[in-house]
Amino acid sequence: MESGLETVPSGVGLVTAEPQSHAAIHVSNLRKVYGPIEAVRGIDLDIQTGEIFGLIGPDGAGKTSVFQILGGVMQATGGEAIMLGRSARDARSYVGYLTQVFSLYHDLTVAENLRYMGELRRLSDEEIERRGRRYLEMFSMDRFMNRLAGKLSGGMKQKLSLACALIIEPKILLLDEPTTGVDPVSRREFWDALADLSSQGITIVIATPYLDEAERCTRVALMHEGRIHQTGTPRELRDHLGLQRLVVRASDLSRAEDVLDETKGINDAQRFGDHLDVMVEDVRSGEELTRETLTRAGIEVEEIEVTAPTLENTFVALLRHVEDEVRASPFPVKREFQKRPPEATAIGARNLSKSFGSFEAVKSVNLEVKYGEIYGLLGANGVLCASESATCRRSFPCMTISPSGRISTSLPGSIKCRLQNGPKKGAGCFRFQVYRDEAIR
Ligand X SMILES: Nc1ncnc2c1ncn2[C@@H]1O[C@H](COP(=O)(O)OP(=O)(O)OP(=O)(O)O)[C@@H](O)[C@H]1O
Residue number, 57 or 170, with CB nearest to ligand X: 57
Pick what 39 binds: Mg ion, ligand X, none; C-beta below 5 to 8 Å, kind-dependent.
ligand X
CB of 226 to ligand X, least distance (A): 7
Residue number, 65 or 391, with CB nearest to ligand X: 65
Looking only at Cα atoms, what is the longest distance across the chain? 87
Q: State the DSSP string of 308-369.
A: PPPHHHHHHHHHHHHHS---PPPPPSS--PPP--TT-EEEEEEEEEEEETTEEEEEEEEEEE
- Taking a C-beta distance cutoff of 8 angstroms, is the pair 249, 342 a contact? no
Exposed (0-12), middle (13-18) or buried (19+): which is 334, by Cβ within 10 Å?
Answer: exposed
Residue number, 36 or 273, with CB nearest to ligand X: 36
Nearest residue to Mg ion, scored by beta-carbon proximity: 64
Sequence-separated (6 or more) residues with CB below 8 Å from residue 339: none
Pick what 60 binds: Mg ion, ligand X, none; C-beta below 5 to 8 Å, kind-dependent.
ligand X
Pick what 62 binds: ligand X, Mg ion, none; C-beta below 5 to 8 Å, kind-dependent.
ligand X
Strands 244-250 and 268-272: unpaired
Strand partners of residue 272: 275
Binding site for ligand X (CB under 6 A): 34, 37, 39, 57, 59-65, 100
CB of 223 to ligand X, least distance (A): 7
Pick what 54 binds: Mg ion, ligand X, none; C-beta below 5 to 8 Å, kind-dependent.
none
Binding site for Mg ion (CB under 5 A): 63-64, 100
CB of 437 to Mg ion, least distance (A): 10
Closest listed residue to residue 141, CA positions, set 152, 130, 129, 127: 152
Residue number, 208 or 387, with CB nearest to ligand X: 208
Angle between helices 110-120 and 125-138 (to 10 degrees): 130
Pick what 87 binds: ligand X, Mg ion, none; C-beta below 5 to 8 Å, kind-dependent.
none
CB of 165 to ligand X, least distance (A): 18
Pick what 270 binds: ligand X, Mg ion, none; C-beta below 5 to 8 Å, kind-dependent.
none
Residue number, 223 or 279, with CB nearest to ligand X: 223
- Continuous segment of H or E residues that includes residue 301: strand 301-307
CB of 225 to ligand X, least distance (A): 9
CB of 214 to ligand X, least distance (A): 13
Residue number, 62 or 79, with CB nearest to ligand X: 62
Q: Give the C-alpha separation, 365 to 185, whole Å.
A: 50
Residue number, 230 or 409, with CB nearest to ligand X: 230
Pick what 61 binds: Mg ion, ligand X, none; C-beta below 5 to 8 Å, kind-dependent.
ligand X
Q: Is 269 left (phi over 0), alpha (psi -120 to 50) or beta?
A: beta
Residue number, 75 or 421, with CB nearest to ligand X: 75
Q: Give the C-alpha separation, 98 to 178, whole Å.
A: 7
CB of 176 to Mg ion, least distance (A): 6
- Taking a C-beta distance cutoff of 8 angstroms, is the pair 15, 1 a contact? no
CB of 123 to ligand X, least distance (A): 30
